[in-house]
Structure 1
Amino acid sequence: MPDQFPAQEDTIRRFTVGHDDDGARLDRWFKRHMPQIGFNTISRWARTGQIRVDGKRAKPEDRIVAGQEIRVPPGGESLSKGPQRQRIQLTDEELAEADAMVLHRDRAAIVLNKPPGLATQGGTGTKHHVDRLLEAFVPEEDSKVPRPRLVHRLDKDTSGVLLTAATPGSAAFFSKRFSGRSAKKIYWALVTGVPDISAGTIDLALAKQPGTGGEKMMPDPEGQPARTKYRVVDRAGNRAAWVELEPLTGRTHQLRVHLAAIGHPIVGDGKYGGQAAFLTGSISRKMHLHARRLIIDHPDGTPLDVTAPLPDHFAASMQQLGFDENASDALPEEGPPPPSREDRKIAARRHAKDLRKERRGERRERTTGSPKPGKPTTKRSAAAAPFEKGGVKRSGVKKGKGSPQPAAKSSGKPAGRPPGKVAGKPASRKPSPRKPGSR
């Protein structure tokens, strides 16, 4: 937050970006600290160069860094903070519920263990959700402390690790890690039956389609690409299996649809597995999908690694099926993350730039008349280029006995087949001697 708010409105105002705003957009900074200045005014000031960040012109969408100085011109709306954000009044039970979910808390992040049945965000008819409970982490005595923000979501019936950002700057930081696929997420699930292949990758595009009981995500060749790594950790005969999942993409209901598509729906997932998703006996009918572990870069430069304990119904089912939680440490497989869409765009632009440079170099060589060694610049040299020094053809075929040679400069003979070669027969230098009496 800014160090101070000047009282006069007819002078140039200067503010220092605080740590809580590190990485935030400039227009978001205005919305938070000067909410009565409209976006149109901010855009006009930026367009005319009246807003400066460290003395340089800035755009509303530019990211700011802690310690930078923001110059705000006189005028606009009043600098008074105006009406404060309406605080959500939580009950004592809600405050205790929020506190019980905390797995890890520091200056940049609050990591929760979301219980099954609790929605991440509100919606029509949903009044009780994680986003509401985040109000518990804003102290009443200090209204300047920013409210934590969600940076990813879990389905209502999925339990486990849920990361929230403590500041706007850390929210931007973590969001980039999730969108760039550098965050590692490991899920545990119980499925009906046992997959034939004990480990592999499910590569099945998904799209939203109308279905029984509302819209569902369904396999669709024209849908969005979706990939999931899986590994069978243990099995209970042919009745059920404990699988470890690592989503390589982040489609809605991806893990649930992928497992149902290979014939082994998650236990308790009636939406995608129907009646086949429920086990007989005393196994709970709740969803058995748990975000077990999250590994993500932290703004302080160290990895944030958090593991969430299983909810009661999941732990009880594991015990009844004879599974030992210690059989897996929920470690993601080593290897670089798949390139994000932005990474692919950068690689494509780099390739196009290199190609243009190469073509300019070829044109330059043709005009100067001083070809580089080993690079053809004329039609004749290009024709001879496949056979270079060392006898290696560019297609990978070596010159050997009987291989064609470049034509001499002036042989005095008409072009045609090489002497001593006949189509369909091996070349010979001398005619074979006739046997006596033969014709």
Structure 2
Amino acid sequence: MVEHSGGHVVPFTLVASAAQAGQRTDRFLADAIGTASRSRVKALMQAGSVRRNGTVLRDAADPVRPGQCYSVEFPPAVAARPQGEAIALSILHEDDSLIVLDKPPGLVVHPAPGNQAGTLVNALIGHCGDDLPGIGGERRPGIVHRLDKDTSGLMVVAKTEAALAALSADFAARRIERSYLGLCWGMLTPAAGAIEGAIGRDPRDRKRMAVVARGGKPALTHYRTLEILHGAVSLVACRLATGRTHQIRVHLSHQGHPLLGDPVYLRRVPGPARLLDDATRRAALDFPRQALHAQSLGFTHPATGAFIRFSSEPPADFHALKAQITANSGSA
């Protein structure tokens, strides 16, 4: 079908015959390959891996043309389980039961389509050895909770099944303390309070989450304004009472105060940006990730029963952005 030799991919190729003319391309290729379903072929076409006479063909229903050469390039096989990699970790605490670490922005937590390597899981397996993959499943070993790729800060990872079960139960029962620091646009009113609203898929964009009237999961975020920077940006502390996907990002955006740099929930230039000088405005609008940091994490140790708490300073890019906004010289 397809060979992988020294990293070189040899695609499956064939020339359509007159008897195959007019068939749907996905059916034609699936039948010819013999080991790939129509849905698999369709996915490959949508990914740009199917060509007709050298030109990418994405329409699965396109009728087969006799005499034309069709080729299908299959991606290299992915390992059934993540492999350990030598990726540096910022570990605040480690014992026989768990690890508490400070995740940098840009690091994906576990392998997924598009990020099969270079993840936190790969780093953890490289650090802990072969025992970790059996803790909680091969694809997400030891993972109790997640942070978005571009959110920095504290995470706890289980090293035993007992620790995973205990920590997961505490997360589900809301017995874990988690607080975040964020830079958001504008000034929240009141300056401290709670944002409550069920979160589910945005009916207008399935890649986003939103506060929804029906079908969502209950979500509650407590917040407190720590500092207001020129009326344009607020430094806020957020404490999660629940743990929904993108919860802080969704709740702040729903209130009209999206996080600086948020690529998903900041869709237009916010009005408060006009209060910043040109250079500071550009820096704030061009910040390459959501300005969100998991600052503190507290939980009951599953082995000792002691309550332990950890804290972390935001990374350098967060500090630099805040410093530039603080030093803002005024509207241009």
Query: TM-score when scaled to structure 1?
Result: 0.49
Distance 1:146 1:308, change over 3 A: farther
Counterparts of 1:127-142 in structure 2, within 5 Å, are: 127=116, 128-139=118-129
Cα separation, 2, equivalents of 1:282 and 1:244:
22
Contact 1:138 1:145 in 2 (8 A): no
Cross-structure match for 1:173: 166
More strand by share: 2
Q: CA deviation at 1:103?
A: 1.6
Cα separation, 1, equivalents of 2:194 and 2:80:
47
Q: CA deviation at 1:211?
A: 3.6
Counterparts of 1:15-26 in structure 2, within 5 Å, are: none
Q: Deviations over 1:342-383 (max 9, x none)?
A: xxxxxxxxxxxxxxxxxxxxxxxxxxxxxxxxxxxxxxxxxx
Residue type of the partner of 2:212? D
Cross-structure match for 2:232: 239
| Matched residue SS, 2:187 | coil
Cross-structure match for 2:295: 292
Q: CA deviation at 1:137?
A: 2.6
Cα separation, 1, equivalents of 2:120 and 2:169:
22
Counterparts of 1:329-368 in structure 2, within 5 Å, are: none
Contact 1:286 1:313 in 2 (8 A): no
Percent of counterpart pairs with the same letter?
33
| Matched residue SS, 2:308 | strand
Match of 1:317 among 315, 321, 328: 321
Counterparts of 1:174-213 in structure 2, within 5 Å, are: 174-212=167-205
Cα separation, 1, equivalents of 2:212 and 2:307:
36
| Matched residue SS, 2:265 | helix
Cα separation, 1, equivalents of 2:132 and 2:324:
49
Q: Deviations over 1:138-163 (max 9, x none)?
A: 347xx699666011111111110011
Cα separation, 1, equivalents of 2:268 and 2:153:
25
Q: Which runs of 5+ in 1 are unaligned?
A: 1-84, 324-439
Corresponding position: 1:124 with 2:116: no
Count, aligned residues: 231
Cα separation, 1, equivalents of 2:149 and 2:132:
31
Cα separation, 1, equivalents of 2:144 and 2:132:
21
Contact 2:263 2:289 in 1 (8 A): no
Residue type of the partner of 2:316? D
Corresponding position: 1:95 with 2:75: no
Contact 2:151 2:294 in 1 (8 A): yes
Distance 1:190 1:139, change over 3 A: same
Query: TM-score when scaled to structure 2?
Result: 0.64
Contact 2:185 2:232 in 1 (8 A): yes
Counterparts of 1:36-115 in structure 2, within 5 Å, are: 89-90=83-84, 94-97=85-88, 100-115=89-104
Q: CA deviation at 1:210?
A: 4.2
Distance 1:109 1:144, change over 3 A: closer
Q: Deviations over 1:312-368 (max 9, x none)?
A: 211111222339xxxxxxxxxxxxxxxxxxxxxxxxxxxxxxxxxxxxxxxxxxxxx
Corresponding position: 1:153 with 2:146: yes
Cross-structure match for 2:18: none
Q: CA deviation at 1:194?
A: 1.2
Q: Which runs of 5+ in 2 are unaligned?
A: 1-78, 136-140, 274-279, 328-332
Q: Deviations over 1:365-416 (max 9, x none)?
A: xxxxxxxxxxxxxxxxxxxxxxxxxxxxxxxxxxxxxxxxxxxxxxxxxxxx
Q: CA deviation at 1:215?
A: 2.2
Cross-structure match for 1:280: 281
Contact 2:182 2:291 in 1 (8 A): yes
Distance 1:200 1:168, change over 3 A: same
Residue type of the partner of 2:124? L
Q: CA deviation at 1:168?
A: 0.9
